[in-house]
Structure 1
Amino acid sequence: MLDFTPFYAKLATNKLHSWLQTLPAQLADWQKHALHGDFKQWQKVISNLPATDVSTIELSNAVQFGAAADISSGETERIRYLLQQLKPWRKGPFNIHGIEIDTEWRSDFKWDRVLPHISPLSGRTVLDVGCGSGYHLWRMRGAGAQFVVGIDPSQLFYSQFQAIKHFNPDPDVHLIPVGIDDMPAIAQFDTVFSMGVLYHRRSPIDFLQQLKQQLRPGGELILETLVVEGDEHHVLVPGERYAKMRNVWFIPSTLALCHWLSRLGFKNPKVVDLTMTSLAEQRATSWMENESLIDFLDPTDHSKTIEGYPAPLRAVITATV
């Protein structure tokens, strides 16, 4: 049985305390239904990770816990073996006692694009919606956030986060395995991030409204998503697949997306970055051996997906409430 008591204790003493009215029952229900065939095995992996003395913690320029010299070669191989049982690792990279978890996505590239354009995180209470295995939670903490919460219902991502947090049990960094649809309108977060989620939502307007309901007055939204070129009325609705992904529903232009945000009452929506996804940022590795970006693009024309749509173009948009 997973123990969320430390998180509840934190909520009870901070401005998110209203979440306690719904969350314990939701997580109790989640645990009853956490029946993924591999979930129990993943939890066994977590329980077998050895306790180590972590000499250094680096969160400003990377996510690195401990040095290779902290542990013996035998412990290194044991930890490496256990962490590899949690593959595929998609978001990172992480460095644990010199063990490089070379994830499919270089999520640090995205963070480097986002960080210069947002309000300082120092002292802020932050929510990351669809946080994956939690790489950016650690970078947010490294940027000074006081209390960091990620939500993502994936059992594998939750297990990967547990594995990383095992080596740095920071009481102010948490991943909670629920989705945005399970969140009450807390309206207390200083900053809400949503990176790589919008295009997976069947109702993007409702999703943006759900993000808004988490922010305090004056709080900031950081939205990172796929976009296409076009005017404020242009939205790509792909067929069965986009870049081999089945769950892509709406890819708006940046002008359309800013228009949506304005209609919902967000203030000053602004495109602060626009970048084509590169083969250096998303690729297969020994920690994620499945197909990756190179397999999703037209082999003769990398400006198009294999289905003929525009290749992945990602925007970062900021707005306030």
Structure 2
Amino acid sequence: MNLDHFQADLAAVAQSPLHPWLTRLPAQLEQWSREQQHGELKGWLSAVKALPQLPADEVALTDTVRVNAADVSSSAQQQIQGLLQQLMPWRKGPFHFHGVDIDTEWRSDYKWQRVAPHIGPLSGHVLDVGCGSGYHLWRMLEAGAEHVWGIDPGQLFMAQFLATRHFMPPELQARAHYFPLGVDDLGPLHSFDTVFSMGVLYHRRSPIDFLTQLHDCLKVGGRLVLETLVVDGDQQQVLVPGRTYAKMRNVWFIPSTAALLHWLERCRFKSARVVDESLTTVDEQRATPWMQGQSLADFLDPNDPTKTIEGYPAPRRAVIICET
């Protein structure tokens, strides 16, 4: 994959408040193209390229992100299903494209239902840090964002986003963007109206640095929507797991909501408040035909589902909203 694949997105950056990013973004993408490509990326992109061109007669950016043509042959449906299955496992969704249902591991619509009542209409330029396949980008457009920008170094996620965008009508394609980069590549842009970070904080070795980076992405008066794992406790309570938490190896810090509010204040955010806190259920995260590996049920203590397999508190997630 070379820089040509990103030309439309780079042009959109140039025409947006994000244009200072162009001083380094092309070089970052060139370096990624030279050094970071997954061994299977070429095959994933070939599957995306082979997807049939069909009209988007019905588009719904709702709980199931849905695109349908008025008339699709069974052979076209079989082609779509076979190609999209080459992009398994599908973790974030659900999606429906021209008669093909993608039942993803996560019911990401459950998370959106917890977030959406508290954010009101979106506007301007919205960033999703760690966007995965981009499911929530489409929901952010539905909520009123002018342009949505996803960053995630996961290259299978990028291929899944490109497959999803392939089916969208041109007017939506032009407003949704994805770069296979991480938050460290952004720098202090001070340009986004809203930044979402959902399911990332606990994967960062330095949560304070990460929150500072999120702050520096936002313009003055911008808003952060942060969703992350939490534990019970006071302002000093932080769980630092051992080698794994719920079989995840890259979980570093899980604070209480009180501790997290304190961190946000130290990182110069204002008016931080918890708007939702809930346990993750096996209805929200589970194995499916589109993600056939282990999932939440395998990560919990079979004799006590209030604990992980390692004996830690079972996953509890909070949504926090604050401003710069």
Instruction: Check whether the contact 2:235–2:262 (CA below 8 A) recurs between aligned residues.
Output: yes
Residue matched to 2:13: 11
Instruction: Check whether the contact 1:55–1:70 (CA below 8 A) recurs between aligned residues.
Output: no
**Greater displacement, 273-282 / 47-56:** 47-56
Residue matched to 2:107: 106
CA distance in 2, matches of 1:35, 1:6: 20
TM-score by length of 2: 0.97
Cα drift, residue 8 of structure 1: 1.5
Instruction: Check whether the contact 2:63–2:94 (CA below 8 A) recurs between aligned residues.
Output: no
Cα drift, residue 70 of structure 1: 2.6
Q: Which amino acid aligns with 1:105?
A: W
Q: Which amino acid aligns with 2:43?
A: Q
CA distance in 2, matches of 1:213, 1:76: 44
Residue matched to 2:165: 165
> 1:208 pairs with 203, 206, 211, which one?
211
Q: Which amino acid aligns with 1:164?
A: T
The alignment of Structure 1 onto Structure 2 pairs a total of residues equal to 319
Where structure 2 has 5 or more consecutive residues not aligned to the other structure, the ranges are none
CA distance in 2, matches of 1:303, 1:83: 35
Is the counterpart of residue 182 in structure 1 residue 185 in structure 2? yes
CA distance in 1, matches of 2:133, 2:176: 12
Is the counterpart of residue 226 in structure 1 residue 247 in structure 2? no
Secondary structure of 1:309's counterpart equals coil
CA distance in 2, matches of 1:89, 1:20: 31
CA distance in 1, matches of 2:22, 2:270: 30
CA distance in 2, matches of 1:217, 1:35: 36
Cα drift, residue 264 of structure 1: 1.1
Q: How does 1:44-123 map to 2 (within 5 A)?
A: 44-67=46-69, 69-121=70-122, 123=123
Cα drift, residue 124 of structure 1: 2.0
Instruction: Check whether the contact 1:107–1:281 (CA below 8 A) recurs between aligned residues.
Output: yes
Where structure 1 has 5 or more consecutive residues not aligned to the other structure, the ranges are none
- The CA RMSD over aligned residues, in Å, is 1.0
CA distance in 1, matches of 2:68, 2:191: 34
> 1:28 pairs with 23, 30, 55, which one?
30
Identity %, equivalent residues: 59
Deviation per CA, 1:133-179: give whole Å up to 9, x if none: 10000000011100100000111000010111110141010111100
Residue matched to 1:151: 151
Cα drift, residue 61 of structure 1: 4.1
Q: Which amino acid aligns with 1:93?
A: P
Residue matched to 1:38: 40
Q: Would you identify which runs of 4 or more consecutive aligned residues in structure 1 move more than 3 Å?
A: none
TM-score by length of 1: 0.98
Is the counterpart of residue 293 in structure 1 residue 296 in structure 2? yes
Cα drift, residue 119 of structure 1: 4.0
Instruction: Check whether the contact 1:62–1:139 (CA below 8 A) recurs between aligned residues.
Output: no
Secondary structure of 2:167's counterpart equals coil
Instruction: Check whether the contact 1:54–1:70 (CA below 8 A) recurs between aligned residues.
Output: no
Deviation per CA, 1:16-72: give whole Å up to 9, x if none: 1101111001001111124312111101101111111121111144311115x5310
Q: Which amino acid aligns with 1:203?
A: S
**Greater displacement, 49-58 / 197-206:** 49-58
**Greater displacement, 309-318 / 48-57:** 48-57
CA distance in 2, matches of 1:39, 1:304: 37
